[in-house]
Amino acid sequence: MESNAGTQALSAQLMRGMLEVKVDGSLIAPNSLFGFAERHNPKRAFLFVSKVLGRHIPVRPSVMNVSFESLAAEIPANLPGPVLVIGMAETAVGLGAGVHRAFSATRPDTVYLVSTRHPTGTELFTRFEEEHSHASAHLIHLPVDLDVREMMLNARSLVLVDDEASTGKTFINLHRALVDAGLTQVEQVVTCVLTDWSRDAVRNTIGASAHQVSLLQGSYEFHEDVEAPLPVMPSVGTVAAGEWPLSPKNDWGRLGVREVEDSLAPDLQIKEGERILVVGTSEFVWRPFLLAERLERLGGDVHFSSTSRSPIALGHAIGHALSFSDNYGLGIPNYLYNVRPGQFDRVLICAETPAQAVPAELVEALNAEVIVDGQ
């Protein structure tokens, strides 16, 4: 990445072209907030890789929490309630939960729900498309808890959370799907992202009822080399229950929640200053993050990261990649980025599936311990 401090212009030469970015405003120095990478995806070549998200780059929980609170502080305080906060699968389900936690500390009429690629066997509310994505289909489940369901169906404000907005189209698709499915009382819509490149696209489409908040605003241009070969994208778009079905009883967001308990490994002991990596798996990241946050408070040198189904090329912000099968029995490749064997004293892989479903090659490569939700 090259930066020009005067104009806040950034650029990256990728295999399929040149990505140029202009930063109009930022609450955090751009180089501290994101980097660039190249997707194994013929639909879109580039990726903005967050340095505060805890997905593709390990991050201290305390640093992640600052971004949660900073974003929540940008959300208009006078939104009419109830407020439905939605985190976008898979990358922003933890970010959405963190924003919801920070925002709900100021008012009681909020509920958190995530989009997902994992059916729970319960009733679907709607689905929508993220057209440029490696896994384009998103599901929105109807809450099972009657109080949470009532809050969702009567929501007067939506807070839609993602890691970045490039064109705003996914937010527009989600808003339309929610309203068409029955959220007819929505008066205000807030998009909430770390980096916003969309040039007010959501507000321009939805109208004055839409607000866009972010830690950074700017624009980009991608100058594609039309002669560059297109990559072959692994088949990672599966939307299915898998071999290891999920238990709705232990939900953390797919069915809507008011709050989530810190319940993973409550008696875990660590040494002062021990270098620990806590790894969430796929969409299961919020309870693992709460564990990482607790271990950091106990004096550990803790970082958080998570596995992903997003296929990314080595180079730029991606210095290392591990590839393995998913832990849901879907038969799709998963990845863990920028984590090298031996980098940490202790690695804790957290899963909502049984321990035997976590790929042995990942556990062995990192000499990891597996922590299973509900045990």
**Residue 124 domain flag:** no
Q: Is residue 29 part of a domain?
A: no
Per-residue pLDDT, 236: 65
Domain ranges, residue 360: 261-372
Instruction: Return the pLDDT at 244.
Output: 87
Confirm whether 314 is domain-assigned: yes
What pLDDT shows up at residue 7? Answer: 59
Domain CATH code at residue 316: 3.40.50
* Residues in the chain, pLDDT under 50: 1-6, 132, 134-135
pLDDT of residue 234: 72
* pLDDT at residue 52, rounded to an integer: 97
Is the residue at 138 inside a domain? no
Distance of alpha carbon 219 from alpha carbon 21, whole angstroms: 6
User: What pLDDT is recorded for position 354?
Assistant: 95
- In total, how many domains does the chain have? 1
Q: Is residue 129 in some structural domain?
A: no
251 belongs to a structural domain: no
* Amino acid letter for position 62: S
Pick the closest to residue 30 from 47, 46, 52, 45 (CA basis). 52
Give the tens place of pLDDT for each residue, 107-159.
Answer: 999 999 999 999 999 999 999 876 545 447 889 999 999 999 999 999 999 99
Residue 338, in any domain of the structure: yes
Look up the pTM and report it. Answer: 0.94
In a domain, 5, yes or no: no
